[in-house]
Amino acid sequence: MSEQHNMASYLSDKQPNRKESRQINFRVSEQDYLKL
């Protein structure tokens, strides 16, 4: 869970829009989960 939080923070920093960042984070987290 800590890893997901880190990714969310990174995306949030890169993306000024938090709403979009949340959507992107969800998709990235899914790919990361599959990789694991």
Q: For 1-36, what is each residue's pLDDT tens digit? A: 567 666 667 666 665 655 655 665 566 667 676 776
What pLDDT is attached to residue 33? Answer: 67
Return d(Cα 11, Cα 2) in angstroms, integer. Answer: 14
pLDDT of residue 12: 63
Burial (0-12, 13-18, 19+ Cβ within 10 Å), 12: middle
Q: How many domains does the chain have?
A: 1
Domain of 19, in residue numbers: 2-35
Burial class from Cβ neighbours inside 10 Å (0-12, 13-18, 19+) for residue 5 reads exposed
Please name the residue ranges forming H helices in 1-36.
2-14, 18-35
* pTM of model > 0.75: no
**Residue-level pLDDT at 34:** 72
